Structure 1
Amino acid sequence: MTETGDRNDGGVPREPELVHYRGGRIFTANEPAWAESLLVRGDTIEFAGDTGTADTLAAGARVVDLDGAFVLPGFVDAHTHLLSLGESLRQVDLFDATDLAEIQARIGAAAAADPSAPRILGRSWLFGALAGRAPDRHLIDAVVADRPVYLTANDHHSAWVNSAALRELGIGQDTPDPVGGRIGRDAANEPDGMLYESAALGLLRRFLDGTVRDAERDTALAAAFERYLADGVTTVVDMASGPEDLGALERAVERGGGRLPLRVAAHWLVERTGRPEDELAQVAKAAELSRRLAGPWLRVTGIKVMVDGVIDSCTAAMKEPFADGSHPGPIWDLDALAPVVAAADAAGLQVAMHAIGDEASDIALSALEHAIAVNGPRDRRHRIEHLETVTEENVRRLAKLGVVASMQPVHADPAIQDNWRAMLGDDRALRGYPWPEFTAAGAVVAFGSDAPTAPHPPLPNMFVATTRRSAVDPRLAPNVPDYALPLADALAHGTRHAAYSCRAEHHTGRLAAGFAADFVVLDQDPFAEGLDALLRTRVRSTFVAGETATA
């Protein structure tokens, strides 16, 4: 990177100022793991180590006293949905609605608060809040019948809508299910108000995207950036990017004079259409985007494929049926997936595959083995996302193939596990989210949030990772506590290893000489104060490329 610096009176570029950060405890996510001082010149770290050496190297530097603060690399959210996160901040939050009455009350209040709103959007409702009752359009009609209501489930793989929304979408008794999705129906074959997988992620999303103006997207993206920086995140991997997402990001780069508030690596969504030529054309589009968008602030690094659904709505691809007897297949079977993965691999793209069910991860790994056989040896950095249930054999296969296990501790929060466990209904729940198994097998684990399907702040995410307890209600019993991680390991998964997951491991994710000066200053040291401190620790300041991005 080039730093022009200030200019003196003669027009000669001035060398960037050298700043010495000292007087704190610095976790480097490197070897050695701890430092006393950081020397930063411009946007780059020149030294991370002991203060005595730093004083020798930094004579005349501007000194910043950290006042005992805890410092670590900027968090890298290895799996998020930036624009959706920003948009969700304007929607009715149903995450902590504990029952149907509360969901209905919040929807009704939102409708009453803005009578002119053409539709009501809500997010993050939990199946468990319905206490076994099936979501149905009539339950929403009872409180809002005059306008369309769209409620995205917490997992974002299904949506609950009212009768007016079904009419607005043009969904009726004769509407066929889209490829890779399902329209819920009642006993009379009428749409019941539930949309699953591509019916929600495709049909509904495309309609709602068409109702949003670019200026609104830009505002939403700016809000997502602000939230992430306030919570200590300096790099994100944007999953399932589409034209609207990249359009907003490119406009932000232009407004920022060639840079963004934080670093973004994006994966272009490849949708299942049932037409192989169209699916391969989507891969070719991603390859073209990766050549055009390859800057230090915005890169298209690969593709995203949704191999299956989720456990909460029984759409994940499992080797054995769910507790209710249902046994759905994958969104992408191996015959359809293998040529797409091989084409992306040949183009040098990273392949990120959503695979939650144990059968889905089997399909994803087989597709990667096919790509390797077709394309031969090369440097690869493919990923499987979520891996909530996975066989021990496939843990070993993943590690042998060098595939990154991209996982989200926040999804294991006991506060949202009741329905998840009930849908499995057997001992498969006892191996849910087995992060240590991957590292024991030699795989790289990268942590993210999958926002807005879950809260984005990384510190509560680290609390779940290190305790298997709930960041929402810490009084709850831990979820398979044997899978809890040491704090240093969890932080590494959220910084250094997450940077590796998006091919940024030589640039960010560690505090070491030559790396970007992306770091976070916290008001407490969880190593000294204990793991519960992760729930009360606050970010004092976030630095991106050596510049303060927060107060």
Structure 2
Amino acid sequence: MSSPTTVYRNATVFTGDATVRPQESLAIRGDRILAVGDLDAVRLAAGEDASEVDLGGALVTPGVNEGHAHMMMLGEALTKVQLRDASTVAEVQDRLRAARAAHPDAPRILGVSWRFDLFADGERPTAAMLDEAVPDVPVILDANDLHSIWVNSAALEAIGIDRDTPDPVGGEIVRDEHGDATGFLLETAAIQYGWDYLASVTTDEDQDRFLDNAFAAYLETGVTGATEMSFGRAELAAYSRRLDRDGRLPFPVDAHWLLTATGDHERDLAQIDGIARIRDDVSVRYGDDWLRIVGVKFILDGVIDACTATMRAPYANGALPGPIWEREFALPMAVAADAAGLRLALHAIGDEASTIALDMVQECIRVNGPRADRRPRVEHLEYVADDTIARMAALGVTASMQPVHCDPAVLDNWQAMLGDERALGGFPWHKFRAAGVHLALGTDAPTAPHEAPDNLFIALTAKSALEADRPPYQPERVFTPEQALEAMTLGTAYATCRDGELGRLAAGYRANAVVFAADPLHEAPEALLGTASRLTLVDGGVAHRRVV
């Protein structure tokens, strides 16, 4: 029996390629695109038995491929106290009191997305601030960028941090003049102490629920694929349970395993062998349609907001931190990963960190030779030097960037920490385009809102999706609608070598598509704000439909 065929007509069909004019219809047979083009030709290809759906002129694109995601963290964040729009410490305290009152039996209170501009000049988060609101159970609050956590005294005790607890490589337990922890954990200290503690008190059922939350939230906003950027054993277990149960995922996921800097060459290199074995085992057990471990993730530096991103010149306060991965450890690790066929995803926010990232790529080419499917990528690139952009083009490195990270509403502290002309030179999308660098756009949720239409709005306008009265940040950087849509679909598929099956609406490709509620090709970008997908298709099946 042949698969059913559906013709979607009366639409603006963006194929994924910015240079190709939109079409008016497409046909899907089973899980594949059958034809795209004018209605008569598509109907001819579909045959007389095809059903038809009138889309009322709506924009149809390939399903959005989320270029940088933390799936389980997003799913968990959706259950936490939301702090992104809190403007004062007092407001944070009020929300924590309300959460405690609403859940008096909760063993802990978790929050997410507090911003550094809560604090006056020179002030930093402390446990005492949180103790005023909730002193009796642990309180653990993720920063907006997920590179630090703010905890109360009960959480410090639960985590086991005292005067003798050492700082991990690449991290800091902030302490007062007496040597006592203040309640602020930076970079790898947040991961190895705070996140590891939470992992120890999280059940399999919790993790499964978090993963379900993330898939549902993304499908609602038009996402039909994601690049997972913090993959580890907990994620592997949760994804495996889902695949064992259903034989598939709600959409394809390409994962980069998160590496840990230990400061020991042998321990570092041992991680690569283990990850390669896990990659091969996952491929044998589940195939490559739904989950692939495609590479490794290096977090080379921190973030500008906390003055932990690695810069060529000091911050306004004089700080000049080094990288989390020093070159002597980073380069041989990169070469080993590359030799094992693991692609590199390199978190680099500061301009010196992105220099190190390209040194790693260049070393891989020198030692292991050229390879067409290497496709290294640098994540974030919030402040990057012009010479680095030119090197990226020459080395074939993808720029993986997140428009929601430069929403003007979250840039006040970012600009203050730089304090000079660098504050006006961030996120230079236009320079990457001019240099011919491949671009892949995502959100890095939950460090920022996960909604694809709002992310697209910022890419098109440089304006704020959070505070409409904010002036745009350096609007000369903006994308055209076609450029942005390509970078959110075909560009992200290219970065993971899925561009032969995803990222296009073309015959033979997997039928992953989204019908937008607003059309930025013909409407003002503001129409995108706050919208969700009208229809999300994964392998031809309806994965989300807006209820009118």
Band of TM-score, shorter chain = over 0.9
- 3-state secondary structure, aligned to 1:34: coil
1:413-461, CA deviations, whole angstroms, 9 ceiling, x for partnerless residues? Answer: 0000000000000111221001121121111010011011001111100
Aligned to 1:49: 37
- 3-state secondary structure, aligned to 1:550: strand
1:53-132 to 2 correspondences below 5 Å: 53-60=41-48, 61-132=50-121
Superposed displacement of residue 174, structure 1:
2.2
1:387-418, CA deviations, whole angstroms, 9 ceiling, x for partnerless residues? Answer: 00110000000111001100101001000000
1:81-480 to 2 correspondences below 5 Å: 81-132=70-121, 133-256=123-246, 258-294=247-283, 295-379=288-372, 380-480=374-474
1:114-154, CA deviations, whole angstroms, 9 ceiling, x for partnerless residues? Answer: 12111111110001122333211111111111111101100
- 3-state secondary structure, aligned to 1:293: helix
Gaps of 5+ in 1: 1-13
Superposed displacement of residue 468, structure 1:
0.5
Superposed displacement of residue 377, structure 1:
1.6
- Give the partner amino acid of 2:15: T
- 3-state secondary structure, aligned to 1:226: helix
- Paired residues of 1:99 and 1:131 also in contact (CA < 8 A): no
- Paired residues of 1:310 and 1:316 also in contact (CA < 8 A): yes
- 3-state secondary structure, aligned to 1:203: helix
Aligned to 1:18: 5
Q: Distance in 2 between matches of 1:375 and 1:338?
A: 12
Superposed displacement of residue 172, structure 1:
1.3
- Give the partner amino acid of 1:527: L
1:458-511, CA deviations, whole angstroms, 9 ceiling, x for partnerless residues? Answer: 110011111100011122011111111111101111011011111110111110
1:79-114, CA deviations, whole angstroms, 9 ceiling, x for partnerless residues? Answer: 010000001111111111111110000011111211
Q: Distance in 2 between matches of 1:55 and 1:538?
A: 29
Aligned to 2:477: 483
- 3-state secondary structure, aligned to 1:539: coil
1:525-536 to 2 correspondences below 5 Å: 525-536=519-530
Across the two proteins, how many residue pairs are aligned to each other? 537
- Paired residues of 2:222 and 2:532 also in contact (CA < 8 A): no
Superposed displacement of residue 192, structure 1:
0.7
Superposed displacement of residue 56, structure 1:
2.2
- 3-state secondary structure, aligned to 2:11: strand
Q: Distance in 2 between matches of 1:536 and 1:24?
A: 22
- Paired residues of 1:228 and 1:457 also in contact (CA < 8 A): yes
- Give the partner amino acid of 2:232: G
Superposed displacement of residue 524, structure 1:
2.5
Q: Distance in 2 between matches of 1:81 and 1:233?
A: 14
Superposed displacement of residue 311, structure 1:
0.5
Superposed displacement of residue 267, structure 1:
0.4
- 3-state secondary structure, aligned to 1:342: helix
Superposed displacement of residue 168, structure 1:
1.1
1:518 lines up with 2:512 in the alignment: yes
- Paired residues of 1:20 and 1:63 also in contact (CA < 8 A): yes
- 3-state secondary structure, aligned to 2:40: helix
- 3-state secondary structure, aligned to 1:524: coil
- 3-state secondary structure, aligned to 1:177: coil
Q: Distance in 2 between matches of 1:131 and 1:546?
A: 52
Q: Distance in 2 between matches of 1:265 and 1:523?
A: 27
- 3-state secondary structure, aligned to 1:352: strand
Moved more, 319-328 or 414-423: 319-328
1:221-274, CA deviations, whole angstroms, 9 ceiling, x for partnerless residues? Answer: 001110000100000000020100111111111222x21111100000110011
- Paired residues of 1:450 and 1:456 also in contact (CA < 8 A): yes
Gaps of 5+ in 2: none
- Paired residues of 2:398 and 2:438 also in contact (CA < 8 A): yes
Superposed displacement of residue 538, structure 1:
3.3
Identity among equivalent pairs (%):
47
Alpha-carbon RMSD across the aligned residues, in angstroms, is 1.1
Superposed displacement of residue 36, structure 1:
0.8
> Cα gap change, 1:165/1:373 in structure 2, threshold over 3 Å: closer, same or farther?
same
- Give the partner amino acid of 1:450: D
- Paired residues of 1:93 and 1:124 also in contact (CA < 8 A): yes
1:263-302, CA deviations, whole angstroms, 9 ceiling, x for partnerless residues? Answer: 1000001100111111111111221122222320010000
Q: Distance in 1 between matches of 2:394 and 2:47?
A: 48
- Paired residues of 2:34 and 2:46 also in contact (CA < 8 A): no
Q: Distance in 2 between matches of 1:28 and 1:417?
A: 34
Superposed displacement of residue 32, structure 1:
2.5
Superposed displacement of residue 185, structure 1:
0.9
- Paired residues of 1:308 and 1:315 also in contact (CA < 8 A): yes
Superposed displacement of residue 536, structure 1:
4.6
Match of 1:509 among 503, 509, 513: 503
